Amino acid sequence: MRVFFNLSFLLLVTSIIVSCGGSGKKPGNTTGDEPKSMIPDTETYDPNRGTGKFTAENVTLGALDAAMVSAGEDISKTKCQSCHKLTDEKLVGPGWKGVTTRRTAHWIMNFITNPDPMIDKDPALQAQLELCLVRMPNQNLNDEDARKVVEFMRQNDSQ
């Protein structure tokens, strides 16, 4: 009976190890059999623009627009400030202070309206994800709301 139990236990442990062993591939290696959506498209990624419909040509900045700043602040209080501080201090995500000096307005708008493809392609965002350990969720901001949030960020950076 004891021999049967030991043999059964050994078979159980062996099957668990084999079934949890994975494919044997290292993360990030591709064989060419993966669907295109699974392979990061880093060759065409522009780190100054990001991925999305916003470009330097269709996002124009001028003097701060007080109405847009106020609307952007309201949006950020609802959708952003549970994870982001207005300082450079990290909360869940990174602090916002200085973001408009480090990133272009169109990059920010592409990211906040399209976070998943940007995180998948942008090495800086991937490094940020390793620090924060939480992927930014898509807040489903429309184009106008994204522009208002950028205006609020610009105002925050001017203080």
Domain limits at 75?
41-157
Q: Which residue would you say has higher pLDDT here, 52 or 31?
A: 52
Q: Among the ranges 31-40, 128-137, 145-154, which has the highest mean pLDDT value? A: 145-154
In a domain, 12, yes or no: no
pLDDT band at 153 (very low <50, low <70, confident <90, very high): very high
In a domain, 96, yes or no: yes
* Domain count across the chain: 1
Query: CB neighbours of 151 closer than 8 A, spacing ≥ 6?
Result: 64, 65, 68, 69, 72
pTM above 0.85, yes or no: no
In a domain, 83, yes or no: yes
Q: Which CATH number does the domain housing residue 84 bear?
A: 1.10.760.10
Q: What is the CA radius of gyration of the chain?
A: 23
In this prediction, residue 19 carries a pLDDT of 44
Q: How far apart are CA 84 and CA 91, in angstroms?
A: 6
Least confident of 3-7, 18-22, 80-84: 18-22
In a domain, 25, yes or no: no
